[in-house]
Amino acid sequence: MSEDARRFVVVTGGPGSGKSTLIDALAREGYAHSVEAGRAIIQDQTAIGGPARPWIDPPAFAELMLCWELRSLRLAREHAGTVFFDRGIPDVIGYLRLMKRPVPAHLETAARRFRYHWTVFIAPPWPEIFTQDAERRQSLSEAVATHDAMAETYRRLGYELVELPKAPVAERVRFVLERLAAPGPLTP
């Protein structure tokens, strides 16, 4: 495993499950992090009247997400220590599969070439905190299907999934940091 893969830790799952809240809390603890691609791309595309939104042009949206994730990896190399990612390249594959769209060969190549820490944290569907907004239009059932697509994709790519507890964010932060510090193969 490359040094980058040892340091780059992904948090994935369905929308509205507390991923970004966890990433923000880890950032407040001093950890470097990426910004989630989907929401930012939707905001940018909406602002300019662009078509690369999931409800207009899913393949274009996926390509922009891939570009965002590749750039996030490049930027992460500028930081020392652990960097937390709010989703990763495999999420783009999971999204296309969820949308029943073909996954281009270059996307599979990217997912195999650019690896993250083998432990991936997955936020389970959490109805009590799930909300919709202008960018998050999915229903709770779609959020569950997204979670399942991400889990299948990461497993298929050889990652170990660790489910986050449905707990306050401070407990989730402790859980993640303790799990990464565990002896044996999980040591980053």
Give the containing element (helix H, strand E) for 106.
helix 105-113
Q: Does 70 score more than 90 pLDDT? A: yes
**Residue 184: its pLDDT value, please?**
38
Q: Does 166 score more than 50 pLDDT? A: yes
> Where exactly are the structural domains of the chain?
3-181
**Residue 144: its pLDDT value, please?**
81
With cut-offs at 50, 70 and 90, classify the pLDDT of residue 129: low
pLDDT over 70 percentage in the chain:
87
Architecture of domain 3-181: 3-Layer(aba) Sandwich (3.40)
Give the strands of the sheet with 83-86, arranged side by side: 32-33, 83-86, 8-13, 119-123, 160-163
Check: pTM over 0.75? Answer yes or no: yes
The mean pLDDT value for 28-47 works out to: 92
Burial of 153 (0-12, 13-18, 19+ CB in 10 A): buried
CA-closest candidate to residue 26, choices 179, 175, 174, 173: 173
